[in-house]
Structure 1
Amino acid sequence: MFLSVVYFMTALLGFLTLMVLVSQYKSNRKVNFYLLILIFFASFRFFFIGIYSLVFFTVSDDVTVIFRSFGSGIFACIYLYFKCLVANRKNPVAGDLYYFSIPVLFGIYNLWMRHYTASWYLLSYFLFALIPLFYLGLSFFELKNKLWFQKSKTWRVQKQNMLVRNWSIFFFVFCFLIVLRLLVSLVLDIFVAGYSDGTSYFWLAGLLCFVLFFKLLFTPMMLYSNVLLDYEIKSEEYFELVFEDFWLDESDVLITNSQDLKLSERVESNLESYIYEIERMALEHFCFRNPKVSMRDFAIRLEIPKSHLLYFFKYHSKVSFIEFKRTVRIYDAISLIEEGFLEKRTVEKLSKKTGFYSCDLFLSSFKEIVGVEPLEYNQKRKELC
């Protein structure tokens, strides 16, 4: 009876959290499609287990196998959540389906094993333990390489990334503990012959999820960080921007175009956000390393219409989009040089890495912006060190 109350309370708090997350979907960087799936799945499962513990009813073995096997796709959702969090992407893309291939194959294997080779159940348990470890490992390397040890080049982005970094560490530890409970349960099933399908000590998962839901609901910086951060930024006297000299707070150009007049209301009210998001996306996500990236591609990464970006560079930038792209690539090259890129690789490889079609164009652009050529810059850097 006590455990059913725990499960129902966790499910109730989970569904409440889900509703709040949905309301914050567009405005909060930490909320994406896969987090909603994870919260829904966890809440539904605790609700189902709560009912099952109160009113016992028969569930066919085939249904149990299907639920356990294909349900392992939730671990793929954990990895995809972190992947989207790092990329600042909200919605799933077709390429995400690739990561569900392992759970699908595992489900097919379990169904086949049940009807033809039931004696191979130990292999099923081994695979069931391996799948969450595999996706947890992918998540660790994704976060380690692209978020936890990445330094921001702007003050505002550093502030945002610190919040996201702290949240990702908390959520990764939560996922690790959930997987650890599952592994312990599977080991007990094998050696103690419990055959619980990984549900031993499931109340621990309930308590962990209760803590997660509670933290999401009652820690404002988790769900409302954008609002609080904007307020905090407004109270600061100094904001660090890498390309501050590029941007215009007010345009001296008279707007006569009817389409631009309509856009002005939308863009002008969010001008500061546009500036910081453009710099963050350009510097933190290396969008311009792709030599074919266009303004349309960049607008898609920013999740804004191309017309908004056209308006911004037309009325609030001292440089064109092409010039901005070129400058960002040179800044990227400088960062790579300072990381030792030219110690083992050539200038030509550096030019390709940063998105230039031509090495000659890279050299001329580098000298124009920095004042010296890349090799000379690298030599002076080593002398200073």
Structure 2
Amino acid sequence: MDFKPQLKIPGTYMRGGTSKGVFFRLQDLPDFAQQPGKARDALLVRVIGSPDPYGKHTDGMGGATSSTSKVVIISPPSVADHDVDYLYGQVPIDGDFIDWSGNCGNLSSAVGPFAIANGFIDPARLPRDGIATVRIWQANIGKTIVAHVPMANGEVQETGDFELDGVTFPAAEIALEFLDPADEGEDGSAMFPTGNVVDEFEVAGVGTVRATLINSGVPVVFLDAAALGLDGSELQPAINDDAALLAKLEAIRAAGAVRMGLIGDVAEAAKRPLTPKVAFVAPPKDYVSSSGKPVGATDIDLLARAISMGKLHHAMMGTASVAIATAAAVPGTIVNAAAGGGTRDVVRFGHPSGTLRVGAEVKQVDGQWLATKAVMSRSARVLMEGVVRVPREQVAAG
């Protein structure tokens, strides 16, 4: 066989929040990958290094976890009054496909800095020093994200003293606004796809499950930790080393996806591992985070843990954080009950790496709950930029 030189594709490796991924400008992708389809997916899956039966991503850019096996494509805006389109892909470690069904809230924080540094924003609009506002069209879910990016000396400011639990080193703070995060229909029921703040449904091999099914930021199936025999303070080993519990949670996730109308049959859930998420919550209690930092019950409103791509997330997905804050603001949800009931527009929850504060604005119109905005702070940083190399023979070149 005549082996050809590797493809060389300009790219940027970035951390955003507690995730990291490979960022591409659409125009820099090979012609065959500038349109969605199998050829693009094959290229990007190979960039990450999947599928990897060894679970290490040794021969790719992925980090062998759900938080570090991600790709992003940035392109000029397709919607008026926006600065860029942001398309996000989650690459399974052992799968040969990409799940494009949702957003990554953490990597959303890196989109504004990438857009500024790569010429998507008119320089005349950018302050030399201060805050640059970037309006992002999240193309996966059709929603607007507004990023407030710090600038210094005409460039994106990346360093700073903002600390984010789950990220080792401090950096500059980036405030994110997720506008209308719930995909409401005309009757508003899509925020709660079943029309209920709590549902009970049967799960094969599990029994009757009580859950809050919400679509805000990302579709999530929220469970009471106690109903699973948990207390909500668990760290990754306690969950990820329990194969029976993970299988139970996946069965609940699949049944919840059907109940929410995201898939027609539980068998389809394996091809949609990114969404919905399944999470469990509990009232606050003292615990020690994965870094050894004590978290006091008086410092948080509730405990929250979420499963991402079949494993307990090391911190909390940004989109799931939006769902937590929104659900906490609505009386009667399982999340609201864990937080002590009542009404609230800000929630601070404990996750495996520490704590996170998220604001959410909700309102009730004609008996239906609507979410208008969620707000949180993250940070982002360029880790490396240059070219990504991909073996031509191992991707579909169209």
- Smaller-chain TM-score bracket: under 0.3
* Larger helix share, 1 or 2: 1
* Larger strand share, 1 or 2: 2
Larger radius of gyration: 1
Q: 1 or 2 for the larger relative contact order (CA 8 Å, sep ≥6)? A: 2
TM-score, structure 2 length as denominator? 0.23
